[in-house]
């Protein structure tokens, strides 16, 4: 069987080449956004799938029919995957819901001048790196991982697939990013106040909901509902892409889970790099429940 964990280096950043080829990545950078588009942007493991589910539910006023019958990669296709962008371009549905992990310095130019709505979701990076480490164990399209210590080093040095977490968050949230319609929401905010986060997103999307509709959205995008929904928990993808005997996509869904993995020494190493790389950045992070 052909190896799935081939690496595509594009503009100096590693991508999973089995899913994202040079051609598909080039194509993504030239994508013609429409003013009605909704774009979900994230660094991997920051709550992307959660936002895909929430936006689907908001657009359907809390009705879960679509989220229970259509896989999330069809509802909210990946921009960096050629097959999906071709489908998007041929589609006459509005609004189009699109997902990407691309950094701002690569995708920003394509968004200039559009009124497309961008939802940027971030998560505290200690939980991101732990979640990403576990995901590497089950996702056969990502490089094999060794120890968590090695993986953490790669994360802090920005050599993992999809590049540097620091560049990603600073790029998309910078005041100079010049995106007209951007909502920055965090994983922790959703975790602490899901109804409030849903209301914030629905008002940004100009799709205000009545209280019962919010309650239905909350019910269907809770961790347990999503864990049991085949359309979102990736059990529909073939075993050679994601090996569910090695872990679950919907793994724990907790704030502060990093504490079960980081050693004291790793935490100090993390803090020193974080402090220097985030200097001048005013974003605040929630590290535990
Ligand atoms: P964990 O591995 O920490 O459990 P992404 O979609 O960006 O790949 O992020 C996946 C992470 O989001 C996983 O984190 C997953 O469990 C978590 N997640 C997805 N839906 C969630 C939900 N409804 N509530 C809490 N966490 C959720």
Digit-coded pLDDT (tens) for 256-282 = 999 999 999 999 999 999 999 999 999
Residue 214: predicted pLDDT: 98
Q: How close is the Cα of 130 to the center of ligand 1, in Å?
A: 11
Q: For residue 126, what are its two tokens?
A: 């200690």
Q: What is the pLDDT of residues 228-258, one digit of tens each?
A: 999 999 999 998 899 999 999 999 999 999 9
Interface pTM, i.e. ipTM = 0.99
Residue 277 near residue 157, CB atoms below 8 Å: no
What is the rounded average pLDDT of the residues 64-91? Answer: 91
Return left, alpha or beta for 166; rule: phi > 0 is left, psi -120 to 50 is alpha, else beta.
Answer: alpha
CATH class (in words) of the domain with range 8-124+157-243:
alpha beta
Catalytic residues: 101
Residues flanking ligand 1, CB < 6 Å: 42, 44-50, 127, 131, 134, 221-223, 226, 250-253, 257
Q: Which amino acid residue places its CA nearest to atom 22 of ligand 1?
A: 223
Put simply, whether the predicted model's pTM sits higher than 0.80 gets the answer: yes
Q: How close is the Cα of 277 to the center of ligand 1, in Å?
A: 25
Residue 250 near residue 226, CB atoms below 8 Å: yes
Indicate the pairing of strand 7-10 with strand 13-16: antiparallel
List phi, psi (to 5°) of 39: -115, 125
Alpha carbons within 13 angstroms on the beta-carbon side of residue 197 total: 25
What are the extents of the domains in the chain? 8-124+157-243
Give the Å distances, CA to CA, from 197 to 84, 172, 192, 212, 229.
28, 19, 9, 15, 21
Q: How close is the Cα of 245 to the center of ligand 1, in Å?
A: 18
Q: For residue 30, what are its two tokens?
A: 């030239």
H-helix or E-strand spanning residue 186: strand 182-186
Rounded to an integer, what distance in angstroms lies between the CA atom of residue 72 and that of residue 66? 9
Residue 194 near residue 221, CB atoms below 8 Å: yes
Q: For residue 52, what are its two tokens?
A: 């895909």
Q: What is the pLDDT of residues 137-182, one digit of tens each?
A: 999 999 999 999 999 999 999 999 999 999 999 999 998 887 889 9
What SS3 class is residue 266? Answer: helix
Radius of gyration of the chain (CA): 18
H-helix or E-strand spanning residue 58: helix 48-59
Q: For residue 273, what are its two tokens?
A: 């790099």
């Amino acid at each position: 069987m052909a190896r799935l964990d081939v690496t595509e280096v594009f503009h100096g950043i590693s991508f999973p080449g089995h899913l994202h080829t040079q051609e598909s990545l080039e194509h993504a950078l030239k994508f013609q956004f429409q003013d009605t588009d909704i774009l979900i942007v994230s660094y991997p493991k920051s709550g992307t799938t959660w936002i895909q589910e929430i936006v689907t539910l908001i657009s359907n006023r809390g009705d879960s029919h679509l989220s229970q019958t259509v896989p999330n990669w069809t509802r909210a296709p990946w921009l960096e995957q050629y097959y999906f962008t071709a489908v998007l371009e041929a589609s006459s549905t509005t609004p189009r819901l699109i997902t990407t992990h691309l950094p701002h310095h690569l995708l920003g130019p394509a968004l200039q001048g559009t009124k497309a709505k961008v939802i940027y979701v971030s998560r505290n990076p200690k939980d991101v790196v732990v979640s990403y480490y576990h995901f590497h164990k089950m996702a056969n399209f990502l490089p094999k991982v060794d120890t968590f210590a090695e993986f953490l080093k790669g994360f802090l040095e920005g050599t993992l697939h999809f590049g540097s977490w620091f560049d990603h968050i600073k790029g998309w949230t910078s005041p100079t990013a010049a995106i007209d319609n951007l909502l920055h929401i965090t994983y922790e905010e959703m975790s602490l106040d899901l109804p409030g986060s849903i209301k914030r997103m629905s008002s940004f999307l100009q799709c205000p909901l009545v209280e019962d509709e919010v309650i239905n959205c909350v019910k269907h995008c809770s961790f347990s509902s999503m864990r049991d929904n085949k359309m979102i928990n990736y059990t529909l993808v073939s075993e050679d892409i994601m090996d569910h005997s090695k872990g679950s996509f919907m793994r724990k869904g907790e704030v502060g889970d990093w504490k079960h993995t980081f050693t004291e020494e790793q935490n100090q190493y993390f803090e020193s790099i974080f402090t220097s790389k985030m200097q001048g950045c005013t974003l605040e992070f929630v590290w535990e429940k």
